[in-house]
Amino acid sequence: MDGINVDLADLEESRPILKSKRFLNNGKCEYAAGYSHLNELIRFNKNMKPKVIHEPAECSFIKNKRDLILFGIRSKPESSDFREAIRQSWLSEPIWDWLGFEIKVFFIKKDRSDVFKIAFIIGRPEEVDLTREMQLNDDLLVLDFDENQYNLAYKDIGFYKFIKRACFVADFVFIGDDDILLVPQNLVREIEIIKSAAEIQAIGCLIHDESVDRNPESKYFVPNQFYSPKKYPQYFSGGGYVVSLRTGLTIKKIKKINIKCTTRIKISHSK
């Protein structure tokens, strides 16, 4: 595996407590509880190209005057309760009926103009059997990589690849986490803003001038070998953002380039 070659010796010199937290597990160097996120960092593969284990059906949608909006919700294999809560709450039929939408399968059709499709994006299920959920719901995009903080960006990349491969007729893309509460009326309003203003192609919580976390005790720890600047560039919080399809595919291209470059940011969002 091609990792990022984190200098653990240098790290332990600056943080002596790390030495007491390190142990051998089946011949591999690992860190104990409280610092176990460093194990994910050690195993990180900068050249990983996750394969698709399972994906929803293609968008059987004939382009017309309606807008197609795709929901990509980041989730973990064990978070089935969260996914079901979303299906039963802010993506439930009564709410969208109240807004003038009709829900069929995973398309939410508005009598006038809008259609929706949902996909939950998760990493490789190690000890979780998703067979039943896959049979009941055609909305799981399962990718072959370990679930951890440092691999989060691969969920966005995998979702955009799915869109390009199977749902290229989409007009808008919403990506968010499974622990958010989305207000449908607000999302409809933001989409109308994007549609009416040519200079606005994406809406979300814009984070700027945020310092990179260099504390190895933090799960958001990013070493210099990972990303050397002291500040992150501007980015949307991963909690949720909506973009036009054109902008979304541009983001996908940028992330693809970043995987191959020396300067990479491998976390889709921070604190």
Overall average pLDDT of the 72-77 stretch: 89
Answer yes or no: are the C-beta atoms of 264 and 151 closer than 8 Å: no
Buried b (16+ CB within 10 A) or exposed e, 54-87: ebbeebeeeeeebbbbbbbbbbebebbebbebbb
Of the two residues 65 and 261, the one the predictor is more confident about is 65
Give 101's strand partners. Answer: 110
pLDDT above 60 (res 141):
yes
Calculate mean pLDDT across residues 26-32.
Answer: 86
Specify the range with the lowest mean pLDDT, choosing from 26-35, 54-63, 176-185, 250-259.
250-259
pTM to 2 decimals?
0.83
Residue 70 DSSP symbol: E
> Helices H, strands E: what count in the chain?
9, 11
Q: Which of 51, 47, 15 is nearest to 31 (CA)?
A: 15
For 175, the token pair is 């990506």
> Torsion angle, CA of 75/78/79/81, rounded to 10 degrees?
150
Given a contact cutoff of 8 angstroms between Cβ atoms, the answer to whether 155 and 145 are in contact is: no
pLDDT of amino acid 179: 92
Indicate the helix (H) or strand (E) that contains 207: strand 202-207
Cross-strand partners of 72:
119, 175
> What pLDDT score does 211 carry?
94
Mean pLDDT of 81-106: 70
Quick check: 232 pLDDT over 60?
A: yes
191-195, 249-253, 266-270: range with highest mean pLDDT: 191-195
Nearest to 148 by CA among 255, 67, 43: 43
Between β-strands 235-244 and 67-74, what pairing exists: parallel, antiparallel or unpaired? unpaired
Q: What is the mean pLDDT of residues 45-65?
A: 76
Chain mean pLDDT for the chain: 78
**What is the average per-residue pLDDT within 260-269?**
45
Range of lowest pLDDT (49-63, 89-103, 127-141, 171-185): 89-103
User: Could you tell me which residues come within 8 angstroms of residue 7 by beta carbon, excluding any fewer than 6 positions away?
Assistant: 223, 225
Tell me if residue 137 falls in helix, strand or coil: coil
pLDDT for 101: 47
When pLDDT is averaged across residues 46-62 and rounded to a whole number, the result is 80
Give 97-118 pLDDT, tens digit per residue: 676 543 333 323 233 345 567 7
What integer pLDDT is reported at residue 261 of this predicted model? 35
C-alpha 3/C-alpha 153 separation (Å) is 16
How much is the average pLDDT of 224-237? 87
43-57, 102-116, 247-261: which has the highest mean pLDDT? 43-57
Task: Return the higher-pLDDT residue of 4 and 213.
Answer: 213
Please provide residue 160's backbone torsions phi and psi, each rounded to the nearest 5 degrees.
-65, -35
Question: Residue 64: its pLDDT value, please?
Answer: 55
DSSP code of residue 152: T
